[in-house]
């Protein structure tokens, strides 16, 4: 009897020790699952062009497409990691539930052993199973930590690459606009023309009328406008072939100032009038004509021809022009002539310049 009581006491002490072990066995895994994972080596590296070697050079559509493809590839990789993390989290939570269930079963079995002095073989098997679950939970926790860290690193790299793409697309759009504006200006410079040509008209007029009356009644002005359009189109098609291609004009795109004279005129007995017309015309394009020829935005024809390009040696800076934010460098703007206050801010530092914009300018800021 004395020996049986001693056995029960020892079992009680042994059970308490095991229960304390069970209660604290998964604290590290709980911490790993519930806390944010620090990411070593996550310092960002500034890259203004996404690694495509176009900083300061001409950007091509191929450069933008390559960076878009790179970002899309990184997004797919991140999605795969998200899916893997979801699966591993489910497995880890399932293992935790099994461990909790195992602890409940061990407590119940331990109470049974202490109260009834039953065999410990079943309890030993339960402890063995719990050890297996504890190892499995540890392995799943480690795998979960690795995936969380990898995902955090991928998210940082993807955010950086997206910023690179945004900057590249902004620079490309600015570059395209500048190129389009240059084309518009090049075409606009060649549109105002002085035309001089001669044409011959021939028409029937009643023989009872005089030659002067017949010529005065003839709708010559309409014919002259048609001739001007034909000659003007011919000249522009030849000189703008490389920029515009075949030219097709509308009379709404320009105005004309015309002088004309009959150089020779005659009338047959049958009433046929023949006359040579000398035409001098000054053709003045409307403001939107160059944009219409190039199928470009009408806004480009309203823009002034003064360009301001702002650059700095820092990534992530901010440019303000007359206190208005315009984004990061490199920045290309088309502005009206005038005085401008330029500010570039970077990590609490500010550099300022005041300039009079009366010609194309390119300024650099160095921090």
Other CB atoms closer than 10 Å to residue 188's CB: what's the count? Answer: 19
CA distance 81 to 33: 16
| Contact of 343 with 319, CB cutoff 8 Å | yes
Inter-residue contact 50 to 164 (CB < 8 Å): yes
More confidently predicted of 35 and 100: 100
Strand order in the sheet with 324-327: 324-327, 318-321, 338-346, 349-357
Edge-to-edge order in the sheet of strand 361-365:
331-335, 306-312, 361-365
First-to-last alpha carbon distance for the chain, in angstroms, is 89
Give me the chain's average pLDDT, please. Answer: 83
* 329-360 tens-digit pLDDT: 888 887 778 889 999 999 999 999 999 888 88
**Residues facing 365 on adjacent strands:** 312
Question: What is the Cα–Cα distance from 276 to 220, expressed in whole angstroms?
Answer: 12
Q: Which two tokens stand for residue 233?
A: 């189109």
Q: pLDDT digit string (tens) for 196-217?
A: 999 999 999 998 999 999 999 9
pLDDT of residue 183: 86
- Cβ distance 90 to 110 under 8 Å? no
Rounded mean pLDDT, 210-229: 93
d(C-alpha 71, C-alpha 74), whole Å: 5
Backbone angles phi, psi at 209, to 5 degrees: -90, 155
Asked if residue 44 has pLDDT above 90, the reply is no
The dihedrals phi and psi of 165, each to the nearest 5 degrees, come to -65, -45
Can you give the pLDDT at residue 328?
87
State which H helix or E strand residue 31 sits in: helix 27-34
d(CA 308, CA 318): 16
In Å, how far are 8, 121, 221 from 12, measured between CA atoms?
6, 16, 120
Per-residue confidence band for 304, with pLDDT thresholds at 50, 70 and 90: low
Report CA 119 to chain centroid distance, whole Å.
72
pLDDT score recorded for residue 37: 38
> Which of these ranges, 46-55, 91-100, 252-261, has the smallest mean pLDDT?
46-55
The whole-angstrom separation of Cα 244 and Cα 186 is 11
Tell me what pLDDT residue 186 has. Answer: 84
Give percent above pLDDT 70 in the chain. 83
The string of pLDDT tens digits covering residues 52-78 is 445 446 889 999 999 999 999 999 999
Element (H, E) at 41: none
């Amino acid at each position: 009897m004395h020996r049986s009581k001693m056995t029960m006491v020892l079992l009680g002490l042994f059970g308490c020790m095991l229960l304390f072990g069970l209660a604290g066995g998964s604290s590290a895994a709980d911490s790993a699952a519930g806390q944010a994972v620090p990411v070593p080596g996550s310092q960002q590296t500034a890259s203004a062009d996404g690694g495509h070697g176009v900083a300061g050079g001409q950007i091509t559509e191929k450069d933008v497409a390559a960076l878009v493809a790179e970002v899309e590839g990184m997004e797919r990789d991140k999605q795969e990691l998200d899916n893997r993390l979801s699966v591993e989290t489910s497995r880890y939570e399932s293992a935790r539930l099994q461990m909790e269930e195992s602890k409940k079963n061990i407590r119940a079995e331990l109470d049974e052993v202490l109260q009834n002095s039953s065999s410990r073989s079943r309890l030993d098997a339960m402890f063995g199973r719990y050890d297996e679950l504890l190892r499995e939970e540890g392995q799943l926790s480690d795998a979960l930590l690795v995936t969380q860290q990898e995902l955090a690193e991928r998210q940082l790299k993807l955010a950086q690459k997206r910023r690179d793409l945004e900057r590249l697309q902004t620079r490309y759009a600015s570059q395209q606009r500048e190129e389009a504006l240059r084309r518009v200006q090049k075409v606009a410079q060649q549109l105002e023309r002085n035309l001089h040509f001669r044409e011959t008209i021939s028409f029937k007029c009643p023989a009872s009328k005089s030659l002067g009356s017949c010529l005065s009644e003839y709708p010559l002005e309409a014919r002259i406008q048609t001739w001007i359009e034909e000659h003007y189109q011919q000249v522009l098609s030849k000189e703008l072939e490389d920029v515009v291609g075949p030219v097709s004009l509308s009379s709404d795109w320009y105005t004309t100032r015309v002088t004309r004279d009959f150089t020779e005129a005659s009338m047959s007995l049958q009433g046929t009038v023949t006359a040579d017309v000398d035409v001098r015309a000054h053709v003045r394009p409307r403001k939107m004509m160059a944009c219409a020829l190039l199928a470009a935005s009408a806004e480009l024809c309203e823009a002034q021809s003064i360009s301001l390009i702002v650059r700095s040696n820092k990534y992530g800076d901010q440019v303000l022009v007359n206190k208005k934010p315009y984004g990061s460098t490199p920045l290309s703007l088309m502005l009206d002539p005038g005085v401008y206050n330029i500010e570039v801010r970077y990590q609490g530092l500010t550099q300022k310049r005041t300039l009079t914009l009366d010609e194309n300018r390119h300024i650099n800021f160095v921090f």
